[in-house]
Amino acid sequence: MHTRNIKHLQINLHLSIKLNQLILLIFYLIILIKILTKKIFRLFQIQNTAQMSSKSKKNNKQINQEVQKMFQAGCELLKAGQPVQAIHIFNQVILHEPKYQAVYNNLGLACLHLKQYNEAIQHLEEAVKLNKLDYGAQNNLGLAYASSGNLQKALSIFEELIKKDPNNLEVFYNKAVALMENKKFDESIFILQDLINQKYEKAYFKLVDCYVSLNKREEGMKYLHQYQHIYSGDAQKIYLLGEKAIDIQEVDYAVECFEKTIQLDPKHQNACLFLGMTYYNKKKYDKSIHYYLKTSEINPKNFTCLNGLGIVYLEQKEYEKALQYFDQSCKLESRFVPALYHKGYTYLKMGKDDEALKIFNQVILMDKNYPDVFFLKAQICQKQNKLNLAIDNYNFDLKFNNDSAQSKLGISQIYIIQNTEASLKQAGELIESVLQKNKNNGLAYATKALLVAKEDSKNKEQSKELLNQAIGLKDKDNEEYIGLIAKELEQLLI
């Protein structure tokens, strides 16, 4: 009986072991099936991507070479920070190749630069429609929705992309950007800190932006110093650190970074260029010229630094020298609007109004959104007593810059010249609208002084008081125009 029980136990034990082995085998089989399924799905995805890429390459081969060159020119303009001109070229490309997927993606990016969010979404939707596996275009579409204020749509796009590729840190980064743009700073910071733990470089700078937005600048600077410590021997990384410092207005720290960059790489032209710009803004003109010239030595075809040199000499009223550099810049890159604009402005300062007017008209043909160009045109027309044309140009300036105090005051001055009861009333209303927004606008007080003198020539004391108030505000941006009004008032108040 005892022996039988032992045998029975042995059989049960043997069966139990076999059963356990079988369960373990089934468990391993399930894991293996899961792994194989993922690999097959990934292989299928890669195959599909390859097919789409192959189709895209075939399509690109079919695209006219001239059109491809045009597209590349648009991309270069976009990189150079000229989205308006880039959009014009991309639209030309679409006329020739309406199914060219990459152009829609770049059109979307150009519109994003200009904060034309609805247009950006429209173009990026088309890019995604033409190639559903272009995750870059989907990423950009998510950013466009986020920038337009549609956070839910943006997040749904990013979540979908994360499901497709959970290892794509760029998507997590863009999700953090979307949250930050919609003032969800805590959620954004959480994602960005996690990305920093995974050594994702771009997260450092965006995290700094979050802290600056929350008025926690010191906390943000800690991350910049941490970044500097990690990449202390890398010239390009330190240069990027300087760019970010400029972006958050830490100018002295930026100078330190750019100078460190040049120590690491004496031929780093962008660091020299930024030092030229930064020292100009700090009014250290000799140092600015030194670094601009150094940039030009490194790359004689750098049209941006030649424009910078022209601006320094323009500021120092060395107009002939300034014109030489603006001309050189324009010869190297005829589409570079800033150099052309500054050339026109130099002619204006030299009293060559007709030459200035011709150039400003060229600027408008290239970029009608360029700041102040309509205002300066209006000033020339006003000087030439073409008052209706002056008002038209002031109104164009207001169309592109609704808060342009200078243009409102320019129109006010013309209404004062017209000297009718109705025009003087309109002038007064415009002056008050400017002062409501900025009580320290010296030009507004000077224009008001002119209005008071015209309304009642006996009211000299109030007019003088307003002019003194204008001068006392030391409004450097409008110093020249206040001086002109002061001379006019001298004649009126005799």
**Tokens coding 58:** 């075939």
Residue 344 lies in a domain: yes
Domain match, 67 and 161 both: yes
- Cα distances from 386 to residues 38, 195, 375, 414, 488, in angstroms, run 74, 60, 14, 10, 18
Residue 107 lies in a domain: yes
Q: What is the mean pLDDT of residues 135-163?
A: 89
d(CA 329, CA 299) in angstroms, rounded, equals 13
pLDDT exceeds cutoff 70 at 124: yes
Give residue 351's domain range. 301-370
pLDDT at res. 26: 54
Number of domains in the chain: 3
Residue 207, CB-side half-sphere exposure with 13 Å CA sphere: 24
In terms of Cα–Cα distance, which of 239, 237, 241, 234 is closest to 220? 241
Domain match, 421 and 469 both: yes
Residue 278, CB-side half-sphere exposure with 13 Å CA sphere: 23
**Tokens coding 279:** 């020292």
Residue pLDDT, tens place only, 408-460: 999 999 999 998 999 999 999 999 999 999 999 999 999 999 998 888 767 78
d(CA 244, CA 246) in angstroms, rounded, equals 5
Question: How high is the mean pLDDT of the chain?
Answer: 85
Max CA-CA distance within the chain? 139
- Cα distances from 171 to residues 62, 140, 249, 279, 397, in angstroms, run 32, 10, 28, 37, 40
Residue 35 lies in a domain: no
Residue pLDDT, tens place only, 334-392: 889 999 999 999 999 999 999 999 999 999 999 888 889 999 999 999 999 999 999 99
Residue 44 lies in a domain: no
Domain match, 127 and 163 both: yes
Residue 243 lies in a domain: no
pLDDT exceeds cutoff 90 at 22: no
Do 192 and 210 meet the contact criterion of CB atoms below 8 Å apart? yes
The residue out of 182, 215, 230 marking a domain boundary is 182
